[in-house]
Amino acid sequence: MNYSERLQNVTVLGAAGKMGSGILLLTAMEMADLSLKPENKGKEYVLYALDISQKALAGLMKYIQGQVLKAAEKKAVALRKVYADRKDLIENCEIIDQYVKDVMNIIRPVTTLESAYESLIVFEAASENPDLKVKIFSQIEKNNQNKPWFFTNTSSIPIGYLDKEAGLGGRVLGVHFYNPPAVQRLVEVIKASATLPELSEFVSQFIKNLRKVEVPANDFAGFIGNGHFMRDALHGMAEVGKLSKEMPFVDAVYIVNKISQDLLIRPMGIFQLIDYVGIDVCQYIMKVMAPHVKDEKIHSPLLDQFMELGVKGGQHSDGSQKDGFLKYEKGRPVGIYDPDKKAYVAIADIAAKCDALIGPMPEGFLPWKSAVGHPAKDDFFKKYFMALKVMDSLGAKLARDYAIRSKAIGLKLVSDQVAFSEKDVNTVLLTGFFHAYGPINDYLN
């Protein structure tokens, strides 16, 4: 069975979710592109969008249609060639319209698992619950006669565990897209020890066709992305713990969030990132990782405390940010949660005194948005960190400690053989987290 045949019948599990909908979109377009090749004329391509909620599926179809339209508008130049033999399609608008129809015709929204029993590939993007994943995989495996390939979007559960528990005989591979899959270029690919090589070969081709960046990671809870992020977040929360002994909690959160964004020139501060991913999701990922990590404690009492208070972060279905550690207005942080008062304190009221504590910005500072596209980026960061290195302020000290810790986390991922190289760690942070520089660098040496 070649690449194109393998993609003739696919199921996406959890298709209406945040990750599932993106994976469905990408897969649907890849399948449609294959179906439109002259050699595949007449072959049937079927993509089951499987989710438990009819209502969510209705919303999903609307979302997919809008996204395919946008994508078609962008690739109109190529689509004119694809439909060159269709004399009835002359104008861009007719061609774009036809492409949207052709993609939508492949997708079948369904609510019952039986559809997956005939698929050749099962893309799983259900919730991050090991027992649930094992249960679904076993059931499909038992009823599907095609010996299907299972691709799981888990960001933390070891693939070998799923393989063993569900009895998949090596027909499972971790294919971890980043949020949102339609936009983010990074895909972490995780082989279990028994994973069959043909699965990885197929996925490499798939990722290449989607014009994304593949980074291999070892089958170790959290892999590279969350392996770094969770430890990075724990460091930030520990710093808040220390600072809180001398100042109010909200001031400490403000300071650590600010230095992890501005002084480290990252796209967002660590507490905003935790909110973006979701406090609940972070807590869950740590819970999944913890038993597999022997030499470190992957657990945060602060996350537990916030969960108990019902402050969870994450995103609304329209993609806007829910309140978490921070309160948001139009996507910008405007407040910080005080767990004692159970209320948000306005950032405007504390910013001035905290900024004074942080101290001045290092010479040559540029915000992330400007630095990320700097034509001589490496030189810029060398000079920037040189300036940061000799500064005596609280902010500079916290930022240096943060950068050093971030590098140590990266190096440990390599020495623990979670990542195959330092470059892979940096690639994950650069493409998956939009950092302007990799954590493993010599800027502070």
Partner 1 sequence: MRKKVYLVGGYNTISMGTGRKEFSPKKERPGLEEYIREAGQGVLKQIGGAANVDECVIGNFIASRFNKQANMAGFFPYIDEGLTFKPCTRVEGACGTGALAVLTGIKSVLAETADVVLVVGVEVQNTVKAIYGADILAAAGWFKERKDGHAYFFPGKFSDRAGAYYEKFGKEKTRKAMARWYVNAIENARLCPTAQEYHNTTADLLAQGMAEPNPKGFVDNLNVFDCSKVSDGASGIAAVSEEGLKKCGIDKKDAVEIAGFGQVEYDITKPPKDPTKLETTAAGVQKALQMAGITKDQLATVECHDCFSIAGIMAVEAIGFAAHGEGPDFVSAGHTARGGKIPFNTTGGLMGWGHPTGGTGVHQAVTIWEQMTDRAGKAQIEIPKDKPFGLSINMGGDDKTLGVMVYKKI
Least separation, in Å, of the C-beta of 310 and partner 1?
A: 35
DSSP helix/strand/coil, 13: strand
Distances 128 to 153, 288, 320 between C-alpha atoms, Å:
9, 9, 21
CB of 142 to partner 1, least distance (A): 45
Between CA 298 and CA 234 the distance in angstroms is: 8
Q: Shortest gap between Cβ of 91 and partner 1 (angstroms)?
A: 4
Judged by CB under 8 A, the chain residues 61 through 80 that form the site for partner 1 are: 73-74, 76-80
Residues 174-213 that bind partner 1 (CB under 8 A): none
The smaller minimum CB distance to partner 1, of residues 93 and 309, is found at: 93
369 makes contact with partner 1 (CB under 8 A): no
Quick check: 159 and 171 in contact, CB under 8 A?
no
Shortest spacing between CB 45 and partner 1, in angstroms: 25
* Closest CA relative to residue 206, chosen from 342, 3, 414, 434: 3
Site for partner 1 in 87-116 (CB under 8 A): 87, 90-93, 96
DSSP state of 321: B
Closer of 254 and 380 to partner 1 (Cβ):
380
Residue 159 CB, nearest approach to partner 1 (Å) = 35
Q: SS3 of 110, please?
A: strand
- Distance of alpha carbon 4 from alpha carbon 205, whole angstroms: 11
| Minimum gap (Å) between residue 94 Cβ and partner 1 | 9
Burial status of residue 166 (CB atoms within 10 A of its CB: 0-12, 13-18, 19 or more): buried
Give the Å distances, CA to CA, from 408 to 4, 26, 154, 211, 267.
43, 35, 25, 31, 21
**Contact call for residues 444 and 385 (beta carbons, < 8 A):** yes
Nearer Cβ to partner 1 (88/295): 88
Residue 216 forms beta bridges with which residues? 189
Judge whether 31 and 44 are in contact, CB under 8 Å: no
Task: Give the helix ranges, DSSP H, for 75-127.
Answer: 76-82, 92-104
Least spacing, CB of residue 78 vs partner 1, in Å:
7
CA dist., res. 387 & res. 363, Å (int): 6
Closest-CA residue to 11 (of 50, 62, 51, 40): 50
Closest distance of CB 76 from partner 1, Å: 4
Q: Whole-number minimum distance, CB 399 to partner 1, in Å?
A: 31
Q: How far is the CB of 272 from partner 1 (least distance, A)?
A: 26
Pick the piece of the chain touching partner 1 (CB under 8 A) from 86-94, 313-321, 347-355, 406-414. Answer: 86-94
User: For partner 1, which is the closer residue by CB, 76 or 351?
Assistant: 76
d(CA 354, CA 252): 8
Number of chain residues interacting with partner 1 (CB under 8 A): 13
The first and second tokens of residue 419, run together, are 């990542």
Contact letters for partner 1, residues 403-442 (x by CB under 8 A)? ----------------------------------------
**Helix-, strand-, coil-residue percentages of the chain, each rounded to 5:** 50, 15, 35
- Cβ proximity to partner 1, 71 vs 440, nearer residue: 71
Pick the closer one to partner 1 by CB: 65 or 179: 65
Decide whether 73 or 416 has the Cβ nearer to partner 1.
Answer: 73
Nearer to partner 1, 77 or 352 (CB): 77
In the complex with partner 1, which residue's Cβ is closer, 93 or 343?
Answer: 93
CB of 320 to partner 1, least distance (A): 17
- For the chain, how big is the Rg over CA atoms in Å? 23
Q: Which residue lies nearer to partner 1 by CB, 73 or 118?
A: 73
DSSP 3-state of 266: coil
Residue 417: other Cβ atoms inside 10 A? 10
The 46-50 sheet, strands edge to edge: 107-110, 46-50, 9-13, 121-124, 149-152, 172-177, 186-191, 213-217
Q: Which is nearer to partner 1, 71 or 125 (CB)?
A: 71
* Residues facing residue 13 across a β-bridge: 50, 124
Binding residues for partner 1 (CB under 8 A): 73-74, 76-80, 87, 90-93, 96
